Amino acid sequence: MRRIHLLLVTLLLVGTTACGVNGMTLVWADEFNYQGLPDPQKWTYEVGRVRNQEQQYYTWGREENARVSDGVLTITAVRDNFEGEGLTSASLTTRETFSFMYGRVAVRAKVPQGRGVWPAAWMLGKNIDTVRWPLCGEIDIMEYVGFQPDTVHFTVHTERYNHMRGTEKIRHLETPAPYADFHEYAVEWDAERVTFFFDGEQVHEFANDGGGVESWPFDQPMFLIVNLAIGGTWGGQQGVDDAIFPAEYQIDYVRVYQ
């Protein structure tokens, strides 16, 4: 039975590659049709307390925080006192394995519910080590904060437009109970604009205003991140409900087309 399932998945991917989306071809994907840790040929991990005064400690290669089963990647935030860290989670990245310039990214995911969760799927400029954030550019394919249970967020950050200045280019989309089911979050990116989609419908757009790299740093490769944060400067604005744990962020697929 599993052999038949894998054959159907293969045929689906071949068909997707041949037909493409909006004239683009599938160039990279993880369908999570395997068991255990995320594929090390595709993903590595951020480790530690990385940003935004968040509460979780990100771990490396630990199934309690990132595991693949039944066709889904589950990122779990849990209170487990791992190596003295009271709260652990995972942040997976393609920083060392895959980056690209222009195309479409689609992430089908089910966000966790509860005050304090902050899951995201996003991209950063590959040149972040040399130019730093926000000059490298950031595209948030999806963000969700649990204290706003019926809202998902789509954002672009650049040197000129970012949340530190209060000038970020953001769309707050009201949608009932996004945590109740899987939804597809997608971005199409070219030299002229970044366009955001929710379940196939366009919801936000950021156009190149010709203002140079401070406004538009997106003419260079970017890499992907999927993570589940807890608390922090945004996710923790109304505290963290301890009843949310273990909190699970589920991802059905990540696909890149060009």
As annotated, the active-site residues are 138, 143
- Tokens at 83, concatenated: 């190596």
Phi, psi of 247 (to 5 degrees): -100, 130
> What is the Cα–Cα distance from 70 to 230, expressed in whole angstroms?
25
> What per-residue string of b and e applies to 215-254 under the rule 16 or more CB within 10 Å gives b?
bbbbeeebbbbbbbbbbbebbbeeebeeebbebbbbbbbb
Q: In DSSP terms, which residues pair with 118 in a beta bridge?
A: 229
Would you say 125 and 224 are in contact if contact means Cβ atoms under 8 Å apart?
no
